Amino acid sequence: MKNRALIVIMILGFSIDAQSAVSARADCRSECENQYESNIQMCSSLLNRGAKPDALEVCMINAERVYDTCLDECEDRNEAALTNDPKGSGSELTPAKR
């Protein structure tokens, strides 16, 4: 039960970190990579804190999923920037009607 609570807390932390990584700044991919490395280090530290190996596996899988999501969001932001669509919907801007 203790391991499950720890995993849930880590998952929530990952999702918040992923959102903040893609919410700003110039090098989105670099931010994703830095966060991924940090998450993997945190996962590795689970064993030192007495977590079972299956908890480590779940943590690593979640870290990878968050990384993939972060990269996808980077791509969405790049596409939105190319179409001048700040919301990232991918729709082209249309001229105003007169």
Q: Which domain holds residue 37?
A: 2-82
Q: What is the band of 42 on the pLDDT scale with cuts at 50, 70, 90?
A: very high
* Statement: the pTM of the whole predicted model exceeds 0.75: no
Residue 49 within a domain: yes
Q: Using alpha carbons only, what angle is made at residue 13 by residues 10 and 14, rounded to the nearest 5 degrees?
A: 85
Is residue 62 in some structural domain?
yes
Residue 16, in any domain of the structure: yes
Please check whether residue 67 lies inside any domain of the structure: yes
Q: Is 22 exposed, middle or buried (0-12, 13-18, 19+ CB in 10 A)?
A: buried
- 3-state SS class at 95: coil
How many domains does the structure of the chain reveal? 1
Residue 15 confidence (pLDDT): 59
pLDDT of residue 59: 95
Pick from 44-53, 59-68, 86-95: least confident = 86-95
For residue 13, being part of any structural domain is answered with: yes
pLDDT at 56: 92
Tell whether 35 is covered by a domain.
yes
In this model, does residue 67 exceed pLDDT 70? yes
